[in-house]
Every structure is written in structure tokens, then in C-alpha cells.
Amino acid sequence: MNVIRWIFLFLIAMCHPAVAEETVQVAAAPTMAAAIEQTQFITEIKPNPKAQYYMFFYTASWCSPCRAVMPKIIAEYPRMKANDYMEIIVISFDDDVSAAQSYLSKSGAPFAALMNNSAEPSKLPGCVTDVCSIPHIVIVDAHGNFVYRGHALRYKEWKSRTARDEKH
């Protein structure tokens, strides 16, 4: 009988709000700002941690379609970046860091970059590791929630998802 009584008291104690608050600790999801702070980029440029949205641009120097879409993304970047609206982070599929850095430098890309083979991209909320073809774009909000995912050459499609409501 004492065992049943002990179990009953234990269950009551565990259901009591004060006990539940002390014993249950929920880990908060990492914020983009915190993840950016902890990430080692291959560029000296760091992404804006205050942006509302983030575009992960999966690309490589050896990829002709990637080189074709890069100027379009660079041209859109000032509009995207205005008022902390959107930041672009390149995820390079190049074989080595120097090839990726050279590609970004030659194209004039003013973006932060990571290597795809690095463990770092997975620490950024919304940065996926299952990209099978490039150029590829993933757009997420500041919490890592998906807004768009698709081929970067679908320019009009991803551009429409990044358009701001100019009335505000």
C-alpha cells in the first residue's frame, strides 16, 4: 500500500506547475543572429544578423548556369539588402576554399560564403544540406522557416518571393 501511495504522491508532485517548470527545460531554437555569430565564413564579409529573410545561394565556379545567374543576384542585392530586408549567403560546391573565394572575388559578389562540404552550413537555421543540383536557392525567414526553394534559374519565381511590398 505504501508503494501505491508513494507513486500517487510522486505523480501529483510531477503535475504541479511549480515542479514541472523546474524539471522541464526546453532548449530554445537558435536564432539566425546567434548562428551567424558562431559560424566561420570563408569570406571576410559577414551576413547581416538583423535581416528579415536569408537567401542561401548554392553555387560553384565550375557551373555555367551558376555563373549565368550570379550577375542577376548581384544586381538584385542592393534592393534586397535595403532596410535589413534580405541577406544572401553563398554555399559553395567548389572543391576547395581558394576556388570559391576566387569565384566570388572575380564575380564581384558582396556576399558571405561557406563551403558545402563544411559542417557549418547546417548550423544556420534553414540552411539545407540535401541540395542535389546547382544553382539552387533556399529562402528562409529570420527563424529558419522556408519561404522558397528551387532552381536559381527560375529567376522570376524567386524574385517574386523576395519582392517587398513598397506600400509600407
Q: How much is the pTM?
A: 0.76
- How far apart (Å, rounded) are the C-alpha atoms in residues 105 and 46? 15
Query: Cell numbers at residue 9, please?
Result: 504522491
Name the CATH topology of 32-162: Glutaredoxin (3.40.30)
83: helix, coil or strand? helix
Q: How high is the mean pLDDT of the chain?
A: 80
Sequence ranges of the domains in the chain: 32-162
105-122 pLDDT, tens digit per residue, is: 999 999 999 998 755 556
> For residues 97 and 30, which has the higher predicted lDDT (pLDDT)?
97
Length of the chain: 168
- The predicted-structure confidence for 80-108, as pLDDT tens digits, reads as follows 898 899 999 999 999 999 999 999 999 99
Contact present, 157 and 151 (Cβ < 8 Å): no
